Structure 1
């Protein structure tokens, strides 16, 4: 059986996380055939560490020479559109680190790149945390209405001090809050009928954004984001049968109607050994047929919800 050929656009932190899992856990079914990055020092280390067949300086050359089955894109948010315009001309699966575009307007341009050959898949790795996978199992057969509370925390001022570009900082709700806002759709069932803003804040100051999101299924999501102050990332889900808490999101504890004592699940060994979610995400995408990763249409829908929460 032929190995699945994988190439990398970008060789920074996230690329290393994916490559580490691939070389340790999937080396018998994958081959790392190429990589490209603006930093020659970064790519030299990457090629050597993960035994990638070849480094490239031009993306088109890499695609035509290495002919990868999967391309992992983990680049600066400001470069995503340019990269995807090139990749959309090739037949391959494309794993794209979120956000797919710097803001809602750019996501509209990226959505137009969809075609029959190009298969873009969005790397929303929190969906693949072992804790999240266990929550889905616990509540999947409970058809009662859900009350969902999502507590987000973001610090774009710290990002600005660390050297992030101004345009990225100003769009931080797309760049990073997208992690937690994705859980609105993951746990809320049906279609959103109302987005009710309770409090709005300037994200470059201290404050809180509070929004209530109503689904036609009867599910309700309370989304709160603390800006530039300490707070945990936390999710709570209440149904008639269960109360589930993810605090932090990597860990799960829950109560059931039948048993009032707290139950918990430990992190999986893969979520301890590697960046949480990455192993399970790659396991899913390496399937020969259907996987559960989201596409550009979903990414655009998610960006639209972020826009409704923060800008409309």
Structure 2
């Protein structure tokens, strides 16, 4: 059996979770770790008995890895991602794509210029619950109503150690998880975004927007900043209503029924950080067959652009 060589850039929590998912696959070998903090990089590398490298260049030269998984903080993305794009490995990078839309578009441009094969770990698309919801909805081609409830607490984020530039752009760093559901489940192009309750940087509160797709699908986004509320997503068509609350849990209500039927969690989303094992499988599928369900960098920037329009930070590009 061929062993696909996977390199890791980053040595924090998410890098470790990705490494765990990839290492569980029989046709994968972790071959190296490169991290900003030498001690943490060596600790992660030691778990897989592989070298820790001081630079991305040195790691590629030594390993000739087939793919690189990049999980670094938001302030490092604009430097680290293009450094990875220069090599012929598949690049699988953590979201968000940059600190804001301008940075995301610059990273996308770099990926295109360098001919990189770049995919983004928008792992909530890869939840078993999200994939099963797509299957349920696919039986009815009629219009969909996509309702997303977001909640963010800047005081809590600050207390957790998030730097001020990230907090200023926290809709890109964290709300992107929720806003991406519109692009995942909404079909066609985004025709317009109507904001009825705008974002106020000086006084974060409620944000409400409606998104219209060329397919006839409609999205409603509600965010509560610095107040209580769960993350939840519901998608409804004429035949079925699916609810993700919490996001890794699926409930289904079919027409004529009055109650949600809960769907059992996939074991992969119990044994690993939800979505990551499936993403690892899809990266191996890409290396093996050229086919994958991973999210492209173009699609990830599309969600970033929608986030920017909802929050009045730049016009969306569909």
- TM exceeds 0.5? yes
Determine which of 41, 44, 53 is the counterpart of 1:43. 41
Q: 1:204 to 1:282 in 2, by over 3 A?
A: farther
Matching residue of 1:6:
6
Please list, as runs of the form range in 1=range in 2, the aligned pairs for 1:154-165 lying within 5 A after superposition. Answer: 154-165=152-163
Q: CA deviation at 1:117?
A: 4.4
Is the CA contact (8 Å cut-off) linking 1:211 and 1:222 kept in structure 2? Answer: yes
Q: Distance in 2 between matches of 1:17 and 1:241?
A: 37
Q: Distance in 1 between matches of 2:15 and 2:46?
A: 14
Is the CA contact (8 Å cut-off) linking 1:90 and 1:117 kept in structure 2? Answer: no
Q: CA deviation at 1:217?
A: 1.2
Aligned length: 309
Which consecutive segments of 4 or more residues in structure 1 shift more than 6 A?
none
Q: 1:3 to 1:230 in 2, by over 3 A?
A: same
Q: CA deviation at 1:220?
A: 0.7
Determine which of 48, 51, 54 is the counterpart of 1:54. 51
Aligned-residue CA RMSD (Å): 1.5
Q: Secondary structure at the match of 2:227?
A: coil
Is the CA contact (8 Å cut-off) linking 1:152 and 1:225 kept in structure 2? Answer: yes
Q: Secondary structure at the match of 1:153?
A: strand
Is the CA contact (8 Å cut-off) linking 1:156 and 1:204 kept in structure 2? Answer: no
Is the CA contact (8 Å cut-off) linking 1:93 and 1:120 kept in structure 2? Answer: yes
Please list, as runs of the form range in 1=range in 2, the aligned pairs for 1:115-154 lying within 5 A after superposition. Answer: 115=113, 117-154=115-152
Q: Which runs of 5+ in 2 are unaligned?
A: none
Write out per-residue CA displacement over residues 191-235 of structure 1, whole angstroms, 9 at most, x where no aligned residue: 111100010233564511100001121111000111122211101
Normalised TM-score (structure 1): 0.95
1:19 equivalent in alignment to 2:19: yes
1:241 equivalent in alignment to 2:239: yes
Q: Secondary structure at the match of 1:181?
A: helix
Matching residue of 2:61:
64
Q: Distance in 2 between matches of 1:261 and 1:139?
A: 17
1:250 equivalent in alignment to 2:248: yes
